[in-house]
Each structure stands twice: as C-alpha cells, then as structure tokens.
Amino acid sequence: MASSVVSGEGSGFIERVVSRLNSYRVSIEGVGSVRFVDRWGEVKAILDPGFKVVLGGMVTVLYGPKGCGKTSLFRALHDVVKSVGGDVDVLIVSGGREAWEVERLYTPPSLVGVVREASRFLGFEVSSTGEVRGFLDVAKIVSTIVGYIASMLREARRVLIVVDEVKADSGERLSELRGWLESFSNTLLWDNQRYMERGGRVAVIALTSDALVSKLRYKVGPKVVWSLMWNLGHEAMVELAGELELQEDPGILWRLTGGNPRALITIKRRGLERWIQEEILDSTWRTLREAMRRRGESIWESLEKAVEDLDEADVELQELMLENNIAIYIAGSDRISRVPDEKWVRRRYAYQIPAYYHTLMVISTKRTLEITPQDVIKEVE
C-alpha cells in the first residue's frame, strides 16, 4: 500500500504552516498586495496523511473551476513550508502557455542539487529566479527529477512535486495526459519504493482547470487519486472582497462569482459589468451559438432543462458546457473543499461559477442571446 507523503510531525507541523499562512501576502498585478484568504481545510487535506489525498508513489489529479486558487495555494505552500522547516518539500513545475511546456521551477533548498543534476542530464538551464531555458517538456523534467530523488537524495524528505497548469482542453491534449498518467504512475510507484528504503517519500500532484479531465477518470481509473478543489466559501469570499476593497454588495458578488478568487480580482480590475460581458456573456454566447448550429430551435427546451437541473440536461449540451468550462463534473472525486449547497450545484455536475447559471436563466426566459450585463445583475438582485 502506498505511504503518505507528509511529515511525521503531524498536526503540529500543519498548525505551524497554517499560522504562517495567516500572515502570508499575495502580490496581484494591477491590484497590489492582499492577505492570503482561508484555505485551511485544503491545507489540512493536502498535508494530513489521514485524508489520503496525497500519497507517496502516486499521482493526484487535483481539478476544479478555473480561477478557484489552485496555483495560489501551492505557491503559498511552497514558500511557507520552506520557511517552517521540517522534512517536507514542495517543488512546483510551472507550465507555460502551451501544453507540456515548462516555464519555471520553484525549487526548495534541499532539492537544488537534484534539479541541477536533472538539468545537466536533460540539457536545460534554470535561472536564479527559476526560469527554465532550453528545454520545455513537462513529462521528461518531472520523471527525471523523481528518478534523481530516488537515486541520489540521501536525506529522508517528504517531497511533493506539483505540476501546475496541466492542459486537457482538447482531444489531443486529453490523449497526451492519459498517456502520461498511465506510464508515469508506474514509474513513480517504482521510484518511490526505492526512495522509501532511505525513509523518504515522493508524490506528484497535477493541477488542472479543464473540465474535460473528467473523461479520463474511467480510462485511467485507480492508477491516480482524483481530487476536487472548489471556490472560496461565502465568509472567505467576503473577506477577500474586503481585501480587494470591492464596493459591490457582497450578496450580489456571491450570487455571481460563487467565491471564485479570479472572478473577484477581475471585477476589481475591470468593473462588474465589464467582467460579466467579457468573461460570462461572450463565453455563453459562443457556446449556445454552437448548440443552435447543431440543434436548431430545440435548443430552447434543452436550455430550460439545463437551468432546471444540470444533471438532467441533454448530454450534447452538457458536453459543450464542459468543453467551454461553463460546467464541471464533480461526482466521484475526493473533495478537499466544501462545495456549497446552492441551486447551481447539483449532484454530478455544477456550474463553475453561478454567473453562468443566472445568465442561462435570463437567456432561457427571454429566448434570446441578446442580453446585457444589467439583465444578469437584475436577475441576482
């Protein structure tokens, strides 16, 4: 049975991490510095062996709505775990704009030697800021680093390698991700067993926002751990809105963003109505135009079903919503976040943020795509 990747320091270690996170600040371009907002439940799920979300020798696929804060959480953990000390390391392999492209490595001090050896072997360079130059393949970088940990790292560390921005937004990308998960999961299990002989553990967690990743669950199955992270809860959303100094009514913000941090930040940068137009209406319009091309006037009946209960929506419309990251499949995964009991969240499917739900409700009622941000705001007031 795979062993956990967290330190034997247990709850005391987790408490020290949470204490540091309480004062951790995040710099947001165009906004400024804000205090990191409540993710203590997620931190415990990741670091506490009792939750079995992160296991030595296994890959965890952690997915969730776009902008729910996966990258921010692990970058904060990288910094805080490093400052707390102990035997836990968080190494982040940050992806670029293209699938499988590595842009930057966030390397803890104890793994600098390992990364240096891997870079020499593969022929890439890492700048002082972690920027990767000369080699871009995620799969080879991760597997090589894991191999060097298993063969040369003498300390008994608990290593978590986080692969950020794994893209699965097309059939080709899904096939690439499936191939990597199936082949690398066996390699990781073997390398972890070798490293366990020296008392260490190594695990990998792949972060993705692409809802199509749900299609992999029944093909890859138990070779990996499947986990779901969600947007901020209501109280944490109010706290972040205060940090951002948003002037909008918190109730309206909740009914539109559902606590999605990126949505709140974009509202701060652009304003509420512009966010609705550019991020919600335009995406919904493209999705429904494609649905109309396929289904014609019958789309209105399908849309009414999707608004009433997304679980019971026509499969073709569900697929389009998944492809365009309007909806997300939430069944059958370990949840490291509390998913709200709201009408835009069903048992198997949910809208990534409630603004999509309310937009579709307005469109369904008016039977036209020609709606405005004001129409959506009026719906939630």
Spatial neighbors of 128 by CB under 8 A, at least 6 apart, are: none
Which whole number is the average pLDDT over 172-180?
87
Asked if the model's pLDDT at residue 6 lies above 70, the reply is no
Number of residues in the chain: 381
DSSP class of 339: P
- pLDDT, tens digit (0-9, with 9 covering 90-100), for 104-125: 999 999 999 999 999 999 988 8
Predicted local confidence at residue 98, as pLDDT? 74
CA-CA-CA-CA dihedral for 61, 348, 47, 100, to nearest 10: 20
Q: Where are the domains of the chain?
A: 10-228, 234-380
Residues above pLDDT 70, as percent of the chain: 97
For 205-233, give the DSSP string.
EEEE--GGGGGGHHHHGGGEEEEE--PPP
Describe the crossing of helices 40-47 and 70-84 by its angle, rounded to 10 degrees: 70
Separation in Å, CA 215 to CA 66, 285, 288, 315: 17, 24, 22, 13
Predicted local confidence at residue 1, as pLDDT? 34
Separation in Å, CA 218 to CA 214, 332, 361: 8, 10, 32
- Per-chain mean pLDDT for the chain: 91
Cβ contact 94:102 at 8 Å: yes
Predicted local confidence at residue 135, as pLDDT? 65
- pLDDT, tens digit (0-9, with 9 covering 90-100), for 29-54: 989 999 999 899 999 999 988 888 99
131 vs 264, residue with greater confidence: 264
Asked if the model's pLDDT at residue 212 lies above 80, the reply is no
CA distance 80 to 246: 28
Token output for 76: 């904060």
Q: What is the pTM of this model?
A: 0.93
Predicted local confidence at residue 8, as pLDDT? 44
- pLDDT, tens digit (0-9, with 9 covering 90-100), for 218-261: 788 788 999 999 999 999 999 999 999 999 999 999 999 999 99
The lowest-confidence range among 243-247, 295-299, 365-369 is 295-299
The helices-and-strands tally (H runs, E runs) of the chain is 16, 13
Cβ contact 30:90 at 8 Å: no
Spatial neighbors of 98 by CB under 8 A, at least 6 apart, are: 136
CA distance 205 to 250: 33
Specify the pairing of strand 201-208 against strand 158-164: parallel
Residues above pLDDT 90, as percent of the chain: 76
Instruction: Please state, as a whole number, how many other Cβ atoms lie within 10 Å of the Cβ of residue 277.
Output: 15
Asked if the model's pLDDT at residue 266 lies above 90, the reply is yes
Token output for 169: 């937004």
Instruction: Please state, as a whole number, how many other Cβ atoms lie within 10 Å of the Cβ of residue 340.
Output: 18
- Per CATH, the number for 10-228 is 3.40.50
Instruction: Name residue 128's amino acid.
Output: S
CB-based burial label for 95 (10 Å; 0-12, 13-18, 19+) = buried
Token output for 228: 């779901």
Which whole number is the average pLDDT over 323-329?
93
Which whole number is the average pLDDT over 131-152?
90
Predicted local confidence at residue 268, as pLDDT? 97
Which whole number is the average pLDDT over 288-304?
91
Predicted local confidence at residue 10, as pLDDT? 62
- pLDDT, tens digit (0-9, with 9 covering 90-100), for 65-107: 999 999 999 999 999 999 998 899 999 999 877 777 888 999 9
Predicted local confidence at residue 49, as pLDDT? 80
